[in-house]
């Protein structure tokens, strides 16, 4: 049975949604109609300027643009961390990752970051009778103490509510370059195991970031061709959808596009005007098109909620620099890049499509975070969260579905790589707790390095505090911007509005001490 417009309008009409009916809006869906399938496509490092529907000129994204034409585009969506691992933590658990001191990416020697007793989106969907899968990049660690790459990678996604996992274990730029299926490395030959351990030459860096050097396992590595990862994951996702078409399903599809290295399938090479970076976006667009085609072929499109977004802003690496030099603005005009508390690090594209429910071709400027997906989907399914579940997740379902113009989230905490630069939004104001974006640093424009010298975290950005790659004398210790008036964070107005800054500092302090911010929702 298809979700019908009539049923939705009857229960979720706009008059019902104004006021007290909001919290139970989702319950109405479940009582009146078939449970909708849910797909979250979570692109990697896709910036605010990387799609044609968000203004890009040097790349073409017809499939994603079509999603926007058929659904709702968001212009004030933020990932609550500008870094891959904590961003995924927030999405899956509905908890701010700073509560677990999680700010940085994890690598191959890291155990599972999420407590298996904590509710995840997948647990919740599974409890509601959904088939659940993650196909793509995990990046949240495996095991207890340390992953056992030659044994069972457990606990991992399967212990957090997913029925099925196929994908890459950490990040496409770092080892081990293998696929994982459920608990095992694919194609691992016990006679040729993965060999890992600390390397003497890079000991300091490796210990800081918990990295092991890896070798061995020729057969397993041979199955991993980096130019085939995008198409392989896409094929697995399409197959899983088709195999599970007869039950309600939840697919979490974190793509490896468009994280560096920029390795599109050869068929996409040279198709954009922004180098391999742009070609990799073209492959991502094709992947989205294939998923949508599968839904159409199986007659599932009308009963599937698709959320497309990114885990953090675009990164100024070599590919990004090349794209920028070709005139492609990876984060649009926003200040900063991936890892930053500045807007370029965390304001990301988001499109929600659900034919007949979400009004086609609409745009929302409401503030929302990726930490809100869990509670919003709980609301959709009528699942009651217990105390301690998803403590920072707000029910933003009416915002996601375009059923209210009321502001439902007036504040949001945003973490960059450096804990000192944690930021808080309230309304259109943002306070950043220290100087700079809190991301990568370097001495010269265009360079980047972890923790870069001297003091400035700088990748070519300039505003009222910064000149020629350094802070101006007397630059304030914190930053305040009114994003309505100054969306590109060009002038730090903290000295002009000290009361506003104090208020935001108090709010951030309060949020940090509260075990949950859910009760703060208006
Ligand atoms: Ca990322």
Looking at the fold, whether 395 and 475 belong to one and the same domain comes out as no
Evaluate whether residue 508 is within a structural domain.
yes
| Residue 456 near residue 469, CB atoms below 8 Å | yes
Same domain, 187 and 236: yes
Separation of CA 240 and ligand 1 centre (Å)? 24
pLDDT at 210: 81
In a domain, 19, yes or no: no
Distance 312 CA to ligand 1 centre (A): 5
Q: Ligand 1 centroid vs 29 CA: distance in angstroms?
A: 33
Residue 47 Cα to ligand 1 midpoint, Å, equals 10
Tokens for 12?
């979720």
Its domain, for residue 159, covers: 31-412
- Is there a single domain that holds both residue 449 and residue 387? no
Distance 88 CA to ligand 1 centre (A): 9
Distances (CA, A) of 343 to 126, 292, 373, 432, 437: 35, 30, 20, 11, 9
- Strand segments, DSSP code E, in 179-228 are 180-181, 184-185, 194-197, 213-216
What is the domain-level CATH number for residue 442? Answer: 3.30.1120
The verdict on 392 and 491 lying in the same domain is no
- Give residue 337 CA to ligand 1 midpoint distance, Å: 11
For residues 246 and 361, membership in a common domain is answered with yes
Report the C-alpha gap between 300 and 291 in whole angstroms. 11
Specify whether 398 is located in the same domain as 435: no
- C-alpha closest to that of 381 among 18, 34, 117, 71: 34
Same domain as 439, residue 407: no
Among residues 363, 387, 412, the one where a domain terminates is 412
CATH of the domain at 351: 3.40.720.10
Residue 2 lies in a domain: no
> What is the 194 CA–ligand 1 centroid distance (Å)?
26
pLDDT of residue 20: 31
User: What's the 311 CA to ligand 1 centre distance in angstroms?
Assistant: 5
Q: What 3-state DSSP class applies to 68?
A: helix
User: Which of 369, 388, 412 is where one domain is finished?
Assistant: 412
Asked if residue 15 is part of any domain, the answer here is no
Helix segments in 397-491, DSSP class H? 397-400
In-domain check, residue 298: yes
User: How many whole angstroms from 261 Cα to the centroid of ligand 1?
Assistant: 12
Whether 68 contacts 363, CB under 8 Å: no
Beta bridge partner(s), residue 194: 216
Instruction: Compute the distance from residue 345 Cα to the ligand 1 centre, in Å.
Output: 10
Place of tokens 């930490």: 371
For residues 403 and 398, give the distance between their C-alpha atoms in angstroms, rounded to a whole number: 5
* Tens digit of each residue's pLDDT, the chain (522 residues): 333 332 322 233 333 333 333 344 444 454 445 899 999 999 999 999 999 999 999 999 999 999 999 999 999 999 999 999 999 999 999 999 999 999 999 999 999 999 999 999 999 999 999 999 999 999 999 999 999 999 999 999 999 999 999 999 999 988 899 999 999 999 999 999 999 877 777 777 778 778 888 888 999 999 999 999 999 999 999 999 999 999 999 999 999 999 999 999 999 999 999 999 999 999 999 999 999 999 999 999 999 999 999 999 999 888 888 999 899 999 999 999 999 999 999 999 999 999 999 999 999 999 999 999 999 999 999 999 999 999 999 999 999 999 999 999 999 999 999 999 999 999 999 999 999 899 876 655 555 544 333 334 446 678 999 877 778 899 999 999 999 999 999 999 999 999 999 999 999 999 999 999 998 887
Q: How far is the CA of 299 from the centre of ligand 1 (A)?
A: 32
If asked whether residues 393 and 435 sit together in one domain, one would say no
- Does one domain contain both 450 and 399? no
- Please tell me the distance between residue 82's alpha carbon and the centre of ligand 1 in angstroms: 8
* Residue 298, φ and ψ in degrees, nearest 5: -95, 10
Residue 336 lies in a domain: yes
Residue 25 lies in a domain: no
Where do the DSSP E strands lie in 190-258?
194-197, 213-216, 249-254
Question: How many whole angstroms from 259 Cα to the centroid of ligand 1?
Answer: 6
User: How many Å lie between the centroid of ligand 1 and the Cα of residue 140?
Assistant: 12
Q: Are residues 471 and 338 in the same domain?
A: no
61 domain-assigned: yes
Same domain, 114 and 191: yes
Quick one: 271 and 393 in the same domain? yes
Cα 25 to averaged position of ligand 1 atoms, centre (Å): 32
How many Å apart are CA 388 and CA 382, to the nearest integer?
A: 18
Half-sphere exposure of 491 (CA within 13 A, CB side): 8
Number of domains in the chain: 2
Domain termination residue (choose one: 412, 435, 454): 412
What local confidence, expressed as pLDDT, does residue 447 receive? 56
């Amino acid at each position: 049975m298809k979700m019908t417009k009539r049923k939705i309008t009857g229960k979720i009409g706009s008059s019902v949604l104004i006021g007290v009916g909001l919290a139970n809006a989702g319950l109405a869906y479940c009582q009146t109609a078939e449970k909708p399938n849910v797909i979250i496509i979570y692109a990697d490092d896709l910036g605010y300027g990387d799609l044609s529907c968000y203004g890009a000129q040097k790349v073409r994204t017809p499939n994603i643009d079509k999603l926007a034409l058929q659904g709702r585009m968001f212009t004030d969506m933020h990932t609550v961390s500008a870094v891959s691992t904590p961003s995924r933590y927030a999405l899956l658990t509905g908890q701010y990752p700073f509560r677990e001191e999680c700010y940085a990416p994890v690598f191959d020697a890291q155990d599972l970051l999420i407590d298996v007793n904590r509710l995840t989106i997948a647990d919740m969907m599974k409890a509601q009778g959904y088939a659940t899968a993650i196909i793509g990049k995990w990046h949240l660690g495996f095991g207890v103490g340390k992953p056992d790459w030659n044994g069972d990678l457990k606990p991992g996604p399967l212990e957090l509510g997913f029925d099925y996992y196929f994908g890459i274990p950490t990040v496409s730029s770092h080892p081990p370059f293998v696929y994982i299926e459920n608990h095992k490395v694919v194609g691992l030959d016990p006679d040729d195991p993965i060999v890992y351990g600390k390397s003497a030459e890079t000991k300091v860096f490796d210990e800081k970031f918990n990295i092991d050097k890896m070798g061995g396992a020729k057969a397993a590595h041979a199955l991993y061709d980096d130019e085939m990862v995008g198409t392989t994951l896409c094929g697995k996702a399409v197959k899983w959808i088709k195999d599970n078409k007869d039950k309600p399903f939840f697919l979490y599809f974190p793509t490896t596009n468009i994280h560096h290295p920029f390795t599109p399938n050869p068929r996409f090479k040279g198709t954009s005007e922004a180098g391999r970076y742009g070609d990799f976006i073209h492959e991502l667009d094709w992947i989205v098109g294939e998923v949508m085609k599968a839904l159409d072929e199986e007659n599932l499109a009308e009963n599937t909620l698709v959320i497309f977004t990114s885990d953090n802003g675009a990164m100024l690496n070599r590919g990004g620099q090349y794209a920028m030099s070709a005139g492609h603005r990876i984060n649009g005009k926003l200040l900063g890049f991936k890892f930053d508390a500045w807007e370029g690090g965390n304001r990301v594209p988001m499109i929600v499509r659900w034919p007949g429910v979400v009004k086609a071709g609409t745009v929302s400027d409401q503030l929302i975070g990726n930490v809100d997906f869990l509670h919003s989907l709980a609301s959709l399914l009528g699942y009651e969260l217990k105390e301690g579940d998803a403590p920072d997740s707000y029910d933003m379902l009416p915002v996601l579905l375009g059923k209210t113009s009321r502001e439902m989230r007036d504040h949001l905490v945003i973490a960059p790589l450096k804990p000192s630069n944690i930021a808080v939004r309230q309304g259109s104001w943002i306070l950043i707790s220290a100087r700079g974006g809190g991301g990568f640093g370097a001495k010269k424009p265009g360079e980047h390095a972890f923790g870069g010298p001297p003091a400035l975290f700088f990748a070519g950005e300039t505003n009222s505090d910064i000149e020629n790659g350094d802070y101006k004398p007397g630059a304030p210790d914190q930053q305040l911007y009114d994003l309505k008036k100054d969306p590109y964070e060009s002038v730090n107005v903290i000295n002009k509005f000290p009361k506003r800054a104090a208020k935001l500092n108090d709010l951030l302090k309060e949020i940090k001490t509260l075990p949950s911010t859910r009760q703060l929702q208006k």
